[in-house]
């Protein structure tokens, strides 16, 4: 999953990015409203974290702009303002949730996961593909009751493939959704991670779930 953090407080933005990276998310950062608008309109994100008080374009105005351009990405608004009127204003212009500073990272992560479940129309947090069971909330993977240990990045790639079950996903799509904006797209890192995932998920089983579609990409499916 890929998240855009639009926050002008450098320390807070970096702390959010570090925490989300450690949880397996790819994160892009913007430090003013104009930069945030550019990234939100040019890249595809799963969630946007948007500060209310920003230079150049404030959070409320930016939220209005994005919604007017039919960008439906879930928006989590952050602010130091705790007044009910400020919260209502943010929600009225199209924000999906509202978190008042200061906050605990665990709460931010929990709210992000809730937004992701709603936006993917998945009332059930657990994703099942054959004997493979992926629990994004608990960050666990099992196959035939065998627990599979994955790194944060491996889990992020597997979850992305699982949310596109039976669909062919390209290397570019994986890069865009699991690495940040500055990653070298010419790297073969995706193939390296896919090889590792395949070994962990399919090794020792008769039915392979992670397939390579030559010249196109990969898919997670019970079908060949």
Show me where the domains of the chain are located. Answer: 2-119, 127-220
pLDDT per position as a tens digit, 100-157: 888 999 889 988 988 887 776 554 568 999 999 999 878 899 999 899 999 888 998 9
* Helix (H) or strand (E) segment spanning residue 169: strand 169-170
CA proximity to 51, closest of 31, 74, 78 = 78
The C-alpha atoms of residue 93 and residue 96 are separated, in whole angstroms, by: 9
Query: Which fold is adopted by the domain 127-220?
Result: Arc Repressor Mutant, subunit A (1.10.10)
The C-alpha atoms of residue 75 and residue 73 are separated, in whole angstroms, by: 6
**Least confident segment among 36-45, 91-100, 123-132, 152-161:** 123-132
Domain 2-119 CATH (choose: 3.60.150.10, 3.30.70.1340, 3.40.50.2300, 2.60.120.1060): 3.40.50.2300
What confidence score (pLDDT) does residue 121 get?
57
């Amino acid at each position: 999953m890929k998240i855009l953090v639009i926050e002008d407080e450098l320390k807070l933005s970096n702390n959010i990015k570090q925490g989300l990276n450690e949880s397996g998310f790819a994160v892009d950062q913007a430090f003013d409203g104009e930069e945030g608008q550019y990234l939100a309109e040019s890249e595809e994100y799963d969630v946007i974290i948007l500060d209310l008080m920003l230079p150049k374009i404030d959070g409320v105005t930016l939220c209005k702009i994005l919604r007017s351009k039919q960008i439906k990405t879930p928006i989590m608004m952050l602010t130091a303002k705790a007044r009910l009127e400020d919260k209502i204003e943010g929600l009225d212009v199209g924000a999906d949730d509202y978190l008042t500073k200061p906050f605990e990272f665990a709460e931010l992560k929990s709210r992000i996961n809730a937004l992701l479940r709603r936006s993917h129309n998945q009332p059930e947090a657990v994703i099942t593909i054959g004997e493979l069971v992926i629990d994004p909330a608990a960050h666990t993977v099992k196959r035939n009751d065998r627990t599979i240990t994955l790194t944060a990045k491996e889990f992020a790639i597997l979850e992305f493939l699982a949310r596109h079950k039976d669909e062919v996903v390209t290397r570019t799509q994986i890069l865009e959704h699991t690495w940040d904006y500055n990653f070298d797209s010419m790297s073969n890192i995706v193939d390296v991670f896919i090889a590792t995932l395949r070994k962990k998920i399919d090794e020792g089983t008769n039915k392979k779930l992670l397939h390579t579609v030559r010249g196109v990409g990969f898919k997670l499916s019970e079908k060949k």
